[in-house]
Amino acid sequence: MAVVRPDPLSDFSADTFTHAGQDKRVFRKGEGPGVVVITEIPGITPYVADFARTVVDAGFTVAMPDLFGEAGRPISPGYMASSMARACISAEFKVLAARGTSPVVGWLRALGKDLHERCGGPGVGAIGMCLTGNFALAMAIDDHLLAPVLSQPSLPIGQLPSQRRGLHISDADLATVKQRAAAGLPILGMRFQGDPLCTKARFDRLEQEFGDAFIRVELPRSSRNPRGKPVPPHSVVTTDLIDEPGQPTRGALDQVLALFKRQLVVD
């Protein structure tokens, strides 16, 4: 496996965003309409930072909150395990809840509103990944969230049928998002086939709830980046991305950028 060096994130600016007494660091970069990039476990890795740069290069302003882990640190098995353990015991994340929205989503919604006010335009986009994948769905209760992307949404954790098909969103929030979807809001979801964390049952449920508004992208296991990992493919636009024309994962990334442009850019 190739050695990945720490990313100093020196090309991003960093500030502190406060909402409801909670202070969190946010890395910012770019110009144009706003997109909230919500990191996956274990944190803002070099792969996540590179994805954010790709969004910036496509003409957007990225706000990337530092929710857990050590910003810029590369992935390792021990780092993954420790970061997940801390998230699981944090009061901000309800990792087992099938019908509950994690408290941190309130802070993320405020960040999205602030980003919209800073950047203008019709609204903002948001992409959640892995543990945070469902957060972009819950953020879509706000009218300014126009492009929610769920990349390998993995909550709730658990093997009960209700958890495997759970959406990690409260009933009230789900009802609001369904109304928005019926009125034309697109919701993009991406996963690898056979991913035990982001199950087919969950995508079946998303399709059931949102119908044609749910854009379902499922990639073959063989399309992942062969970085030598023994675990199943999981991270569509970061670790398992093959950033080459014609590759299925690059095609999925292009769908994300196309959704952002279609929903957020005014000609």
pLDDT digit string, tens, across residues 105-147? 999 999 999 999 999 999 999 999 999 999 999 999 999 999 9
Q: Is residue 2 included in any domain, yes or no?
A: no
Confidence of residue 89 (pLDDT cuts 50, 70, 90): confident
Q: Is 112 helix (H, G, I), strand (E, B) or coil?
A: helix
Confidence of residue 1 (pLDDT cuts 50, 70, 90): very low
How confident is the model over 242-247, as a mean pLDDT? Answer: 96
Q: Is residue 140 included in any domain, yes or no?
A: yes
Q: Report in angstroms the alpha-carbon separations of 208 from 97, 167, 201, 203, 215.
A: 19, 12, 10, 8, 12
Total count of domains within the chain: 1
Q: What is the pLDDT of residues 143-166, one digit of tens each?
A: 999 999 999 999 998 888 889 999
Residue 158: which region, alpha, beta or left (left: phi > 0; alpha: psi -120 to 50)?
Answer: left
**What amino acid is encoded at 155 in this protein?**
L
How confident is the model over 51-56, as a mean pLDDT? Answer: 98
Q: Is residue 240 included in any domain, yes or no?
A: yes
pLDDT at 201 over 80: yes
Strands (DSSP E) found in 93-202: 124-129, 145-151, 187-192
Q: What is the pTM of this model?
A: 0.96
- The overall average pLDDT reported for the chain is 94
Q: Is residue 130 included in any domain, yes or no?
A: yes
Confidence of residue 95 (pLDDT cuts 50, 70, 90): confident
Per DSSP, what are the bridge partners of residue 23?
A: 18
CATH number at residue 195: 3.40.50.1820
pLDDT at 98: 83
| Cα 194 from chain centre | 19
pLDDT at 6 over 80: yes
Q: Show Cβ contacts of residue 59 under 8 Å, excluding neighbours closer than 6 positions.
A: 30, 31, 32, 33, 261, 265
Domain that holds residue 99: 15-264
Structure tokens at 150: 């769920």
Q: Is residue 8 included in any domain, yes or no?
A: no
Question: pLDDT above 70 covers what percent of the chain?
Answer: 98
Q: How many Å apart are CA 212 and CA 197, to the nearest integer? A: 24
Q: Is residue 4 included in any domain, yes or no?
A: no
Q: Is residue 7 included in any domain, yes or no?
A: no
Q: Is residue 10 included in any domain, yes or no?
A: no
pLDDT at 230: 65
Q: HSE, CB side, 13 Å, CA atoms: give it for residue 250.
A: 6
pLDDT greater at residue 85 or residue 255: 255
Q: What is the pLDDT of residues 58-79, one digit of tens each?
A: 999 999 999 999 999 999 889 9
pLDDT at 158: 85
Starting at the edge strand found earlier in the chain, the sheet holding 124-129 runs: 13-19, 22-30, 61-65, 34-37, 124-129, 145-151, 187-192, 214-219
pLDDT at 228: 56
Q: What is the pLDDT of residues 21-37, one digit of tens each?
A: 999 999 999 999 999 99
Handedness of CA 123, 240, 77, 150 (dihedral sign): positive
pLDDT at 11 over 60: yes
Q: Report in angstroms the alpha-carbon separations of 76 from 3, 5, 56, 80, 82.
A: 10, 12, 27, 6, 10
